[in-house]
């Protein structure tokens, strides 16, 4: 079959690409150009046809070409000299074969990083981050009659060496090597391709290559991922499609506008509000089942907001990309305007993009506690009566736990009302800390229309238990094993 020639060489490209920087660049290939917008992914997906790996690459290119992903990368690049040097080198190589060989190193890293303790379970959970792992563990608890295996990342040198052995075994087929190099070069050589996108495409190929062989030889009945666009998830999705394994997607956190089109057999979403985000963009294929937002449901508690402000316990829960001067100013303003009993700052759990120097410069004192997010969000929330946030989906878990939140500008570099929480009436806001009125926040959350609005984001909140329907949908998923098709089902209203 044609795909065997085009995708079996993908893992090899991540290794051999480093050894053969001058392979023939004149080989004709369909190019996947990184464009931004709905038409971009639709066009890229159309050019990819029915090839799962090309579809996965098109999705990664689409997502990582969007402005917010670029801004997160710019934040990281600004603090990491090695990233700046690597990007400069990639630009100097000017998208020639040598540039492809260079970014292939990121694919090699991805190939060697993914490992697993067991492949004999019913379902393999594939993810890289702690917030994804929490979703998998919740699903494991809900579906207690199934067994789950979890992909691990990193590992000891001996485990990485095993990956190298697997990789080297694929070098015995030169045709696959050439085909893999061709696909990688076609995907990252267009002049429009940024360094970020090129590396993420290479990582997608690396993850695909690692999973392809393992999934083909496994007795798994299905996969579950918790990202609709990350290289690890998309590489695993493509490998599963080739192996005839159905894949479920379980979201972690709300999403902004214009997500990519998804093609999973099962989509486990927080609620109708998130489903609307997908429907208003490029849509999604497969069955849709609502699971509720992450966290513990409690009735909204606003009593503390009607007491003197000096008795308040205020939290500041930070976003992924912060304006540290704005955070420091917010701290000073909260002290001056409210004079609360305590202030608890919770860092974003993603440690990769943390600016440790800026964190060290924040105002301190006996009234301020800094949480490094090593505990759950709910554990930090339990120490607060009101939480000040910027553009973060943490609002949902906090509100579900009954903690009022308020969105203020200036804390981060996330676009205002990124998730439309304010527009849709579930999060209070104020123009600045000076205008923050705790009693006004209490009035906002006591409105009779607030609970129905929030239940659009989480239909399980103070309502029905959604776990039985999640359990039933997962049972249907593993029944699809071997059908080599993703069944579409009517989505809920």
For 395-446, write each residue's pLDDT tens digit: 999 999 999 999 999 999 999 999 999 999 999 999 999 999 999 999 999 9
For domain 303-457, the CATH architecture is 3-Layer(aba) Sandwich (3.40)
Q: How far apart are CA 366 and CA 353, in angstroms?
A: 27
Contact 201, 184 (CB under 8 A): yes
Helix (H, G, I), strand (E, B) or coil at 10: helix
* Of residues 492, 313, 330, the one with CA closest to residue 411: 330
Comparing CA positions, the residue from 202, 6, 10, 23 lying closest to residue 97 is 23
Mean pLDDT across 259-275: 97
Lowest-confidence region among 168-182, 288-302, 375-389, 407-421: 168-182
Give mean pLDDT, residues 62-67. 91
The ranges assigned to domains in the chain are 2-291+471-478, 303-457
Residue 179's pLDDT is: 75
Question: Could you give the C-alpha distances from 465 to 107, 400, 450, 462, 468, in angstroms and in order?
Answer: 42, 14, 20, 9, 7
- Taking the whole predicted model, whether its pTM rises above 0.75 is answered as yes
Highest mean pLDDT among 23-27, 218-222, 342-346: 342-346
Q: Which of 83-87, 148-152, 159-163 has the lowest mean pLDDT?
A: 159-163
Q: What pLDDT is attached to residue 10? A: 45
- Written as six digits, the tokens of 407 are 């969105």
Pairing of strands 148-153, 114-116: antiparallel
- If one compares 39 and 356, the residue with the highest pLDDT of the two is 356
* Token code pair at residue 482: 């071997």
At residue 2, does pLDDT exceed 60? no
Token digits of residue 366: 């006996």
């Amino acid at each position: 079959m044609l795909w065997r020639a085009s995708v079996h060489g993908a893992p090899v490209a991540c290794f051999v690409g480093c050894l053969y920087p001058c392979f023939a660049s004149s080989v004709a290939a369909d190019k996947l150009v990184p464009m931004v917008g709905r038409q971009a992914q639709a066009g890229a997906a159309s050019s990819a046809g029915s090839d799962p790996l090309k579809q996965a690459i098109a999705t990664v290119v689409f997502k990582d070409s969007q402005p917010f992903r670029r801004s997160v990368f710019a934040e990281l690049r600004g603090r990491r000299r090695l990233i700046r040097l690597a990007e400069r080198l990639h630009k100097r190589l000017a998208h020639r074969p040598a540039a492809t060989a260079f970014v292939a190193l990121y694919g090699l890293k991805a190939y060697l990083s993914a490992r697993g303790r067991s492949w004999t379970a019913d379902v393999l959970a594939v993810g890289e981050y702690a917030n994804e792992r929490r979703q998998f563990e919740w699903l494991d608890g809900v579906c207690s009659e199934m067994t789950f295996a979890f992909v691990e990342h990193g590992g000891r040198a001996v485990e990485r060496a095993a990956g190298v052995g697997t990789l080297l075994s694929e070098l015995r087929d030169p045709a696959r090597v050439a085909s893999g190099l061709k696909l990688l070069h076609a995907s990252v050589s267009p002049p429009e391709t940024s360094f970020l996108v090129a590396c993420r495409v290479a990582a997608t190929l690396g993850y695909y290559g690692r999973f392809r062989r393992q999934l083909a030889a496994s007795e798994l009945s299905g996969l579950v991922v918790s990202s609709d666009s990350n290289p690890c998830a998309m590489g695993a999705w493509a490998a599963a499609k080739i192996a005839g394994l159905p894949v479920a997607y379980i979201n972690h956190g709300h999403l902004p506008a214009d997500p990519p089109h998804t093609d999973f057999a099962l989509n486990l979403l927080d609620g109708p509000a998130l489903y609307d985000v997908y429907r208003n963009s490029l849509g999604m294929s497969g069955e849709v089942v609502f699971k509720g937002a992450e966290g513990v449901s409690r009735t909204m508690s606003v009593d503390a907001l009607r007491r003197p402000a000096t008795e308040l316990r205020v939290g500041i829960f930070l976003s992924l990309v912060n304006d540290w001067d704005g955070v420091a100013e917010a701290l000073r303003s909260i002290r001056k305007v409210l004079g609360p009993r305590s202030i608890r700052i919770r860092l974003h759990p993603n440690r990769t993009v943390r600016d440790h120097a800026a964190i060290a410069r924040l105002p301190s004192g006996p009234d301020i506690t800094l949480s490094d997010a090593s505990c759950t969000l709910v554990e930090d929330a339990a120490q607060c009566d009101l939480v000040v946030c910027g553009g973060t989906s943490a609002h949902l878990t906090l509100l579900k736990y009954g903690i009022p939140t308020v969105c203020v500008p200036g804390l981060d570099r996330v676009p205002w009302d990124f998730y439309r929480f304010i527009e849709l009436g579930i999060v209070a806001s104020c123009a600045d800390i000076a205008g923050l009125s705790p009693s006004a926040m209490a009035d906002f959350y006591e409105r009779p229309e607030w609970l129905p609005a929030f239940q659009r984001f989480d239909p399980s909140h103070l309502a029905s238990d959604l776990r039985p329907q999640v359990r039933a949908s997962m049972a249907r998923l593993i029944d699809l094993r071997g059908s080599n098709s993703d069944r579409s089902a009517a989505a809920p209203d």
